[in-house]
Amino acid sequence: MEQQLSALQQKAQAELAVIRTRPELEAAKARFVGPNGELTALMKQMGTVPKELRPAMGKQINETKVRVQAEIDAALARVAEAEVAAQVGPAIDVTLPAPDPGPGTFHPLTQVREEMCRILRKVGFAVADGPEVETEYYCFDALNTPADHPARDAQDTFYLPPEADLANVSKRSAGERYLLRTHTSSVQIRTMLKGPPPIRIVSPGRVYRRDTTDATHSANFHQLECLYVDRNVTVRDLKALLDYIFTSLLGKDTKTRFRPHYFGYTEPSFEVDLSARHLPKVNKEWIEIGGCGMVDPVVFDGVGYDSKIWTGYAFGMGLERLAMLLYGIDDIRYFYQNDLRFLRQFA
Amino acid sequence: MKISRNWLQSYVNLEGRSNDEISRAITFLGFEVESIHLTGAPKLDAVFVGEVLTRNRHPNADKLSVCTVDVGPVHGVKTIVCGAQNYRVGDRVPVALAGAVLPGNFTIKQSKIRGEMSDGMMCSGKELGIGEDHSGLLILDHRPALGLPINEVLPPGDAVFDIEITPNRPDCLSHLGIARELAAWFRVPLNYPEVMIERTAPSRDADRHDLLRHVRVEAPDDCPLYLARVIAGVKIGPSPAWLQERLSSVGLRPINNVVDVGNFVMLEYGQPLHAFDARKLSGPEIVVRRAVEGESIVTLDGKTRALSSQTLVIADAVKPVVVAGVMGGENSGVDASTTDLVLEAAYFRRQSIRATSKRMALSSDSSYRYERGVDPHALPEAARRAVNLILQTAGGQLVGPQFSVGGDVPWQREILLSPDFVNERLGFAVPAADMKAALESLELTVAREEEGASGVVWTVEIPSWRDDLDRPIDLVEEILRLHGTERIPASPVIAPGLPENDDPVVDYNRRALAYLVGHDFHECVNYTLRSAREAAVTVDSSTVEKLALSNPFVEDQSHLRASLIGGLLESLRLNQSRGLSVTRLAESGRVFLEREGRLLECVAVAFLMAESVSERSWLNREPADFFGAKHHAHSLAALAGLDLARFTRPVVGGECRQWQEGHAGVAGDLGQGWRASFGLLSVAAVKSLGVSGRVYAGEVILLPEKVGAERTHRRYKPFGLFPAALRDLAVVVDESLPSEEARRALVKAARAVIGPAFAIERVAVFDVYRGEGLPPGKKSLAFSLVFRAEDRTLTDEEVNRVFQALQESLIAATGYGIRK
């Protein structure tokens, strides 16, 4: 019996060591420890063992059983490991590049626009939108642009032919011509005509000037304008907004200054300069960044707001110019070429 | 406008102020200083007047001379090696001796030149920093005393500010105007030029009276005031040095004393004046009238110009002699032979001059000022100033009366201003006394002060040259300018909350772009204006016409875009041509579409997926395909709340201009406010735009007014927690039948037989089969069906019953076959 046990143990050890698959393992398990297995058969012979030898023999059988079970467990672990290895395949060179394109990138103009909108959203400006094909009323008349102002010339502004007819851009009068808006200020007029103050909007968008395209000019560019109309809006509030915008954008040591200027739709009017550290390719202390002013009472009268009650400010700037300053881009045309080497830099 | 510092000095004392300080003042008064140009001789030490005593050839260099030069009693005679050729023995020239520092930081030392000792250098104008002449030595023709420091001989230094004058301030298109602003800024007096009242007795020479007898204004609307004086017996010649210097300093070429005086007074007062030769008039008469169609004139620039019936001209009895306010005619110009002049000073309506200048494409210093508005009240004064200067510089005498046609243009303007109003608008307090001082420094006189119900009210008198000031708010700006915009105090933004959301269009664009960038697309920005050729690839020819601008600037940007895809293809082409592998591009922006003969401005989002033509990869992915494009189009439509799957149909006919028939789909309709197209771009069209490979794309177009106006929160619907029952069903249908039609028929049949008992949750195609076992012209569509009840586990029995019934109902309704 003793010899049988030791032979069984050796046999189990030898057979289990070469098992690689789960069915082989199950078969082996049945052969040794199953109800009809060899060990079970030996245990059944216990009855024939003399009574005084039984404790020692029982101990021996148990030890054998533990050893065989350990061999089975080890074989199971090997099988499980082999299964996973087959499932996952050979090890991967993790330094190989992913073959998919990407990552995707937002255009730098979008990034600058969204950053400005986020900054303005925090102080209560909602983003407004309007058509790019406009009429003379919304682009010029309502903004106090005299009838013979040069900005209206066909030399400076793109017009649609007189017979042009846009179903979803309304005209104020039949004689008006359609044009490509020269500034996003037309959105201010449409917003004011839509409802009463208070109003606080930012209107980013495309604008058009009949201009030669070169490193700093583009017939098609983007602006961003703010309009705030409420009671008791002051010059000081306007300055506070500009300070807020540019310190938010460029850091606390950024400064802005106003220079008196002239625009038909604001009074007083200012040009805005900013001074900031760490702007690439800027070698002047002050850089002109936009125009602003207090909304001219004539504009309020035109949209039916009582200029004795309502006051407001407006601010506008070019997005390309801002992006060029922020990123140190020296040619406006790059924004419109979409060269991947350009786009990827702003991901 | 160029403004000379030396010239300003005649009216406002700027001594002791640096150019930067003046530039800063001008800037903060509201005029941009574009540049400061320094002219005249800089301060030069150790440069003196010398005279060449001898000139001998340099022993070792053909082109050099060795000269002895007398530099006056203090410095004595020096030896100088010189390379110039334009001088002779006896000429007086500037001599820089050792220690002199010439412009460009060029220090003069005693040195050996080709073996000959030289004590210094004889100088050209350029070397001294006066002008560009480097052709030879500056010969001092007027022979100043030997040894004089050169600064006593050369014109003094000047700073010329190039200033941008805003259109509301025509009064500052003059030295006096800028001087007035600076006087106000620095709070120093403004000194007007002294104009002597002319006392010359009218000549008794009868002939001379005949020079001008009548002035008639036939177009008083366009010429409300016209003054003319006759000066006889002038002697035309060069202007005196001071006058030449003034004009040269601001870039005007001196011509002769009379023309120069006209220009000088224009730049001094801002009032254009014109002098013409009285003897060249046909008859002693001046008529201010509109030209007659067919008339023409040769203007002083030598060009023949046709005149129209809208052109205002100054004419004699026969012919036009001046294009009013714009330019004189050659036929009446002042030249060396002129002895008798008519000096004209007029007030023309700005619109009239602007129209003429525009029509003739001719702009002059004069028209520029008239267009922006001159002050009619300064006119007599400017005319007297000019008469004074002409008599001073060209001699002659006034003859005849002053002709003055037209009334005095009335001027009286007062603005009521309350200091409280100023502070309210500024948002900070400026003391009333400071406000008053600011106004009065600009000659805006506070004439009266009254205590009104709501505080003090000032009556401010506005001078005639400030036509731009009309309302209290205009004076707020004046006060702020003089107070200094740099002194606006800092403060926090005060932002009472407003219940406004971003425009839904903006919100949609933002989400659509985030989706695309999240799917590895590169966002592009292309021009809205496209070529006719590109438009023709996108839409039919009648729409191409509607997209055309009336005045394009360049040929390849003549049409509004009807699709974003053209721009994206151009970006693709550019990257391909630069050898850059790019596959996914996207853009959002406005496009213009035609519907029922009218254009619509639409919001669009588009993307394209191209085969990577240049880049090889160690591991190849499945290339882009139709369903990839459909998937993204579907998602983009879903972001706008639209279900693209429900409306998809193949592109046919005209839609195929841009898309490949049989490989592209379209959904929606602009009548419903949206349209989405997706699939393979027309292979021929893509190739014609220079792009290689197949390109899949998608574009979702929305009418802005239809983009999710109201955003409400979704309502939760309960969903079943009991297990679903699954069945598969394959139907045999015509090859041409869209799968979606079969799917809908199936859903319809299922709903009908199930009734309210439970629900068919999902019907989806999982296999499409053609070929063996099927009749020709047929295909098999296999659908998986998911049934579920909300309140219990469905039994096999009831599901089988329904499954059987729905097949029968489907066959009865559609005639589809069932594939077992």
Whether A259 and chain B come into contact, CB under 8 Å, resolves to yes
pLDDT at A55: 85
Q: Provide the residue count of chain A.
A: 347
Burial of B151 from C-beta contacts in 10 A (0-12 / 13-18 / 19+): middle
Rounded mean pLDDT, B155-174: 92
pTM equals: 0.86
pLDDT tens, residue by residue, B718-730: 888 999 999 999 9
Report CA-CA distances (Å) from A40 to A62, B212, B669, B703: 11, 147, 80, 82
Nearest-Cα residue of chain B relative to residue A191:
B503
Quote the tokens at residue A335. 């924004």
Task: Give the DSSP H/E element, type plus range, for residue B610.
Answer: strand B598-610
User: In this complex, do B166 and A261 lie within 8 Å of one another by their Cβ atoms?
Assistant: yes
Is there a contact between B30 and A259 (Cβ–Cβ < 8 Å)? yes
How many other C-beta atoms are found inside a 10 Å radius of the C-beta of residue B136?
16
Is there a contact between A38 and A8 (Cβ–Cβ < 8 Å)? yes
Whether A105 and chain B come into contact, CB under 8 Å, resolves to yes
Rounded CA-CA distance B606/B196 in Å is: 75
Q: Which of B476, B520, B599 sits opposite A102 (nearest CB)?
A: B520
DSSP assigned state of B70 = E
Computed over every residue of chain B, the mean pLDDT equals 91
Is there a contact between B92 and B107 (Cβ–Cβ < 8 Å)? no
Whether A212 and chain B come into contact, CB under 8 Å, resolves to yes
Q: Where are the alpha helices (DSSP H) in B60-117?
A: 72-75
pLDDT tens, residue by residue, B702-718: 999 888 765 678 889 88
Is there a contact between B79 and B137 (Cβ–Cβ < 8 Å)? no
Residues of A in contact with B564 (CB under 8 A): none
Report CA-CA distances (Å) from A341 to A24, B379, B690: 59, 62, 20
Rounded CA-CA distance B442/B460 in Å is: 11
Report CA-CA distances (Å) from B524 to A107, A336, B501: 6, 8, 26
User: In this complex, do A262 and B501 lie within 8 Å of one another by their Cβ atoms?
Assistant: no
Whether B33 and chain A come into contact, CB under 8 Å, resolves to no
Report CA-CA distances (Å) from B488 to A245, A316, A339, B481: 17, 19, 44, 11
Q: How far is A168 from chain B (nearest CA, A)?
A: 6
pLDDT at A331: 95
Query: With bands split at pLDDT 50, 70 and 90, how would you rate the model's confidence at B647?
Result: confident
Nearest-Cα residue of chain B relative to residue A270:
B30
pLDDT in tens, chain A (347 residues): 778 888 888 888 888 888 888 998 899 888 888 888 888 888 888 778 888 888 888 888 888 889 888 988 999 999 999 999 999 999 999 999 888 887 999 999 999 999 999 999 999 999 999 999 999 999 999 999 888 787 888 889 999 999 999 999 988 888 899 999 999 999 999 999 999 999 999 999 999 999 888 888 889 999 999 999 999 999 999 999 999 999 999 999 999 999 999 999 999 999 999 999 878 777 788 999 999 999 999 999 999 999 999 999 999 999 999 999 999 999 999 999 999 999 999 97
Contacts of residue B357, Cβ cutoff 8 Å, sequence gap at least 6: B326, B363, B364, B367, B371
Find how far residue B570's CA is from the centre of its chain. Answer: 27
Quote the tokens at residue B585. 């591009």
Residues of A in contact with B590 (CB under 8 A): 131-132, 206
Whether A79 and chain B come into contact, CB under 8 Å, resolves to no
How many other C-beta atoms are found inside a 10 Å radius of the C-beta of residue A170?
12
User: In this complex, do A124 and B494 lie within 8 Å of one another by their Cβ atoms?
Assistant: no
Nearest-Cα residue of chain B relative to residue A334:
B525
A-B Cβ pairs (cutoff 8 Å, strict): 249
- pLDDT > 70? residue B205: no
pLDDT at B710: 58
Quote the tokens at residue B573. 């082409």
Q: How far is A187 from chain B (nearest CA, A)?
A: 12
Nearest-Cα residue of chain B relative to residue A114:
B510
Rounded CA-CA distance B630/A155 in Å is: 44
pLDDT at A48: 82
In terms of Cα–Cα distance, which of A287, A119, A283, A319 is closest to A204?
A: A319
Q: How far is B414 from chain A (nearest CA, A)?
A: 18
Residues of A in contact with B169 (CB under 8 A): 262
* Residue B231 bridge partners (DSSP): B341, B398
Q: How far is A217 from chain B (nearest CA, A)?
A: 13
Residues of B in contact with A297 (CB under 8 A): 471, 473
Burial of A47 from C-beta contacts in 10 A (0-12 / 13-18 / 19+): exposed
- pLDDT > 50? residue B290: yes
By three-state DSSP, how is residue B420 classified? helix
Q: Which of B427, B492, B553 sits opposite A210 (nearest CB)?
A: B553
ipTM of the complex: 0.90
Whether A338 and chain B come into contact, CB under 8 Å, resolves to yes
User: In this complex, do A219 and B513 lie within 8 Å of one another by their Cβ atoms?
Assistant: no
Whether A235 and chain B come into contact, CB under 8 Å, resolves to yes
Between the CA atoms of B743, B748, B750 and B755, what dihedral angle is there, to the nearest 10 degrees?
160
Rounded CA-CA distance B730/B740 in Å is: 14
**Which residues 155-184 in chain A show a CB within 8 A of chain B?**
158-162, 164-169, 180
By three-state DSSP, how is residue B314 classified? strand
Q: Which of A132, A199, A212 sits opposite B590 (nearest CB)?
A: A132
pLDDT tens, residue by residue, B764-787: 999 999 988 899 999 999 999 999
Residues of B in contact with A267 (CB under 8 A): 471, 473-474, 476-477
Rounded CA-CA distance B7/B24 in Å is: 18
Q: What is the DSSP pairing of strand B522-523 with strand B584-595? A: parallel
Q: Best interface-test mutation with B: which of A96, A112, A155, A160 has the largest number of B CBs within 10 A? A: A160
Q: Best interface-test mutation with A: which of B525, B587, B617, B691 has the largest number of A CBs within 10 A? A: B525
Q: Best interface-test mutation with B: which of A338, A339, A342 has the largest number of B CBs within 10 A? A: A338
Rounded CA-CA distance A3/B615 in Å is: 71
Whether A333 and chain B come into contact, CB under 8 Å, resolves to no
pLDDT at B706: 84
Q: How far is B426 from chain A (nearest CA, A)?
A: 5
In terms of Cα–Cα distance, which of A149, A169, A122, A343 is closest to A264?
A: A149
Rounded mean pLDDT, B392-408: 87
Q: Report which of residues B653 and B457 the model is more confident about.
A: B457
User: In this complex, do A211 and B553 lie within 8 Å of one another by their Cβ atoms?
Assistant: yes
Residues of A in contact with B525 (CB under 8 A): 107, 109-110, 335-336, 338
pLDDT at B198: 58
Whether A95 and chain B come into contact, CB under 8 Å, resolves to no
Q: Report which of residues A264 and B622 the model is more confident about.
A: A264
Task: Give the DSSP H/E element, type plus range, for residue A261.
Answer: strand A255-263
Q: How far is A193 from chain B (nearest CA, A)?
A: 16
Whether A106 and chain B come into contact, CB under 8 Å, resolves to yes
How many other C-beta atoms are found inside a 10 Å radius of the C-beta of residue A330?
11
Is there a contact between B611 and B604 (Cβ–Cβ < 8 Å)? no
Q: What is the DSSP pairing of strand B285-290 with strand B214-217? A: parallel
pLDDT tens, residue by residue, B8-36: 999 999 988 989 999 999 999 999 999 99
Rounded CA-CA distance B231/B400 in Å is: 9
User: In this complex, do B546 and A164 lie within 8 Å of one another by their Cβ atoms?
Assistant: yes
Quote the tokens at residue B356. 């003429």
Report CA-CA distances (Å) from B627 to A201, B563, B588, B779: 40, 21, 21, 20
pLDDT at B202: 53
Whether A258 and chain B come into contact, CB under 8 Å, resolves to yes
Q: Which of A104, A234, A237 sits opposite B516 (nearest CB)?
A: A104
Rounded mean pLDDT, B65-73: 92
Query: With bands split at pLDDT 50, 70 and 90, how would you rate the model's confidence at B197?
Result: low
Q: Best interface-test mutation with A: which of B425, B526, B598 has the largest number of A CBs within 10 A? A: B425
- pLDDT > 70? residue B199: no
End-to-end distance of chain B based on CA atoms, in angstroms?
A: 92
pLDDT tens, residue by residue, B95-148: 999 999 888 888 999 999 998 899 999 999 888 887 777 788 999 988 999 999
User: In this complex, do A160 and B574 lie within 8 Å of one another by their Cβ atoms?
Assistant: no
- pLDDT > 60? residue B813: yes
pLDDT at B196: 75
- pLDDT > 50? residue B206: no
Rounded mean pLDDT, B689-709: 89
Q: Which of B522, B590, B600 sits opposite A343 (nearest CB)?
A: B522
User: In this complex, do B490 and A239 lie within 8 Å of one another by their Cβ atoms?
Assistant: yes
pLDDT at A149: 82
Q: How far is B534 from chain A (nearest CA, A)?
A: 17
pLDDT tens, residue by residue, B559-613: 999 999 999 999 999 999 998 888 899 999 999 999 999 999 999 999 999 987 6
Is there a contact between B526 and A339 (Cβ–Cβ < 8 Å)? no
What are the E-state strand segments in B533-682? 559-560, 584-595, 598-610, 649-650, 659-669, 674-681
How many other C-beta atoms are found inside a 10 Å radius of the C-beta of residue B185?
21
**Which residues 334-373 in chain B show a CB within 8 A of chain A?**
351, 354-355, 358
Residues of B in contact with A260 (CB under 8 A): 28-30, 477, 480-481, 485
Rounded CA-CA distance A76/A24 in Å is: 10
Quote the tokens at residue B98. 């050792």
Is there a contact between B282 and B312 (Cβ–Cβ < 8 Å)? no
User: In this complex, do B550 and A154 lie within 8 Å of one another by their Cβ atoms?
Assistant: yes
Rounded mean pLDDT, B382-397: 93
Rounded CA-CA distance B573/B616 in Å is: 18
For helices B175-186 and B19-29, what crossing angle results, to 10°? 100
